[in-house]
Amino acid sequence: MNKIAKLTFQDFINAFPETELPIDLTEDTQSIFSKENKPLSKQLIEQFIVPIDEGIDEFTEYVPCFRIPRTKDFYAIVLWKAGLMNYEYFIITFDKKGNLIEKKMVAGTQVKGDALLRTVTTIKEDWTIATVVGVVSANDDLAYDPATSLDSMLELTQDGRISILT
């Protein structure tokens, strides 16, 4: 009987190629990551994502996006998750042994009642994360009101935490 070899944390991290910053995360960038990166195997998802993610069902998909460069004492990856009516980018940080430090949704599209929340993000060279959230009516895509936009600034710290700057 053949046993499937257990994949290592390094196998998981290597599925996320390092990229140069700055980088924008929008509704459309996921398609670029889907074309350029190999999909995560079912085994990698079961070993490394399922234990840290809630709300997984048979419709959930994941796309490995990239790894943030020049992290010394931790790994920082960006993962795209597609669920029913929700498409989200997460920054997930791990220590060098593979223990979760932090997981934060930083961009995506979510349906909340009769509203559509769209969040776009730029991750800059200095590891600051600029986000803008816009709200539109789910019934009328043209009903976007710029006055309802919210922006915030986050920062990826040297210890792998994600802190709010503004």
Nearest to 119 by CA among 130, 127, 128: 130
Using one digit for the tens of pLDDT, what is the confidence trace for 20-67? 999 999 988 999 999 999 999 999 999 999 999 988 888 899 999 999
Q: How far apart are alpha carbons 23 and 67 in whole angstroms?
A: 11
* Domain coordinates in residue numbering, the chain: 9-164
Nearest to 130 by CA among 152, 113, 157: 152
Tell me, yes or no, if the pTM score tops 0.85: yes
Q: How far apart are alpha carbons 16 and 69 in whole angstroms?
A: 11
Q: How far apart are alpha carbons 67 and 93 in whole angstroms?
A: 10
Rounded to the nearest 10°, the torsion over CA 99, 101, 105, 107 is -100
Using one digit for the tens of pLDDT, what is the confidence trace for 77-136? 999 999 988 999 999 999 999 999 999 999 999 988 888 889 999 999 999 999 999 988
Nearest to 53 by CA among 81, 84, 28, 26: 81
